[in-house]
Structure 1
Amino acid sequence: MSVSDVQVVTSREVPLGGPRAMTVRRTLPQRARSLVGAWCFADHYGPDDVATTGGMDVPPHPHTGLQTVSWLFSGEIEHRDTTGAHAIVRAGELNLMTGGSGVAHSEVSTPDTGTLHGVQLWTALPDAARHLPRSFVHHVPEVVALDGATVRVLLGTLAGSTSPVPTHTPLLGAEVVLQPGTELVLDVAPGFEHGVLVDRGPVVLDGVELGRAELGYTAPGRQQLTIGNPGDRGARVMLLGGEPFPEPVVMWWNFIGRTHEEIARYREDWESGSARFGQVEGYGGQVQRLPAPPLPTVRLKARMAPPAARDPSAWG
Structure 2
Amino acid sequence: MSNLDTTPQPALRGGRQAVPGQPVHELLEPRLASLGGSTQVRRLLPNLGRRMVGAWCFVDHYGPDDIADEPGMWVPPHPHTSLQTVSWLHQGEVLHRDSLGSLQTVRSRELGLMTAGHGISHAEQSPREHAPLLHGAQLWVALPGAHLDTAPAFEHHADLPTLTSRSGLHATVILGEIDGTRSPGTTYSPLLGVDIALAADADITLPLQRDFEHAVLTMSGTVRIDGRSVGPGSMLYLGCGRDALGLHADSDCGLLLLGGEPFEEKIVMWWNFIGRSQGDIEQARSEWTAAAERFGRIDGFDGAPLPAPELPPLPLKVRGRVR
Give the TM-score normalised by the residue count of structure 2: 0.89
Report if the CA contact (8 A) 2:92-2:135 is conserved: yes
Aligned to 2:54: 37
Aligned to 1:153: 173
Cα distance in structure 1, aligned partners of 2:23 and 2:259: 17
Cα distance in structure 2, aligned partners of 1:166 and 1:281: 26
Matched, 1:278 2:296: yes
Distance apart, 1:50 and its partner CA: 1.1
Residues 1:39 and 1:303: Cα distance change in structure 2 (over 3 Å):
farther
Aligned to 1:124: 142
Larger CA deviation: 199-208 vs 61-70: 199-208
Distance apart, 1:52 and its partner CA: 4.3
SS of corresponding position for 2:288: helix
* Correspondence list, 1:166-245, <5 A: 166-231=186-251, 234-245=252-263
Cα distance in structure 2, aligned partners of 1:175 and 1:154: 7
Question: 252, 265, 270: which one pairs with 2:283?
Answer: 265
Report if the CA contact (8 A) 1:27-1:43 is conserved: yes
Larger CA deviation: 205-214 vs 117-126: 205-214
Question: 76, 84, 94: which one pairs with 1:77?
Answer: 94
Distance apart, 1:62 and its partner CA: 0.4
Structure 2 letter corresponding to 1:84: G
Structure 1 letter corresponding to 2:267: V
Residues 1:199 and 1:208: Cα distance change in structure 2 (over 3 Å):
same
Q: What is the percent sequence identity of the aligned residues?
A: 44
Aligned to 2:74: 57
Q: CA RMSD in A?
A: 1.4
Cα distance in structure 2, aligned partners of 1:100 and 1:291: 20
SS of corresponding position for 1:267: helix
Matched, 1:99 2:119: no
Report if the CA contact (8 A) 2:267-2:275 is conserved: yes
1:157-198 per-residue CA deviation (whole Å, 9 max, x = no partner) reads 123311122210000001001110111111010010001001
Structure 1, unmatched stretches of 5+, are 307-316
Structure 2 letter corresponding to 1:201: G
Distance apart, 1:248 and its partner CA: 0.7
Give the TM-score normalised by the residue count of structure 1: 0.91
Structure 2 letter corresponding to 1:168: Y
Cα distance in structure 2, aligned partners of 1:302 and 1:264: 17
Cα distance in structure 2, aligned partners of 1:2 and 1:243: 12
Matched, 1:22 2:39: yes
Structure 2 letter corresponding to 1:199: M
Report if the CA contact (8 A) 1:202-1:212 is conserved: yes
Residues 1:108 and 1:267: Cα distance change in structure 2 (over 3 Å):
same
Report if the CA contact (8 A) 1:250-1:301 is conserved: no
Report if the CA contact (8 A) 1:36-1:242 is conserved: yes
Structure 2 letter corresponding to 1:28: L
Count of residues paired in the alignment: 300
SS of corresponding position for 1:55: coil
Cα distance in structure 1, aligned partners of 2:278 and 2:45: 20
Matched, 1:288 2:288: no
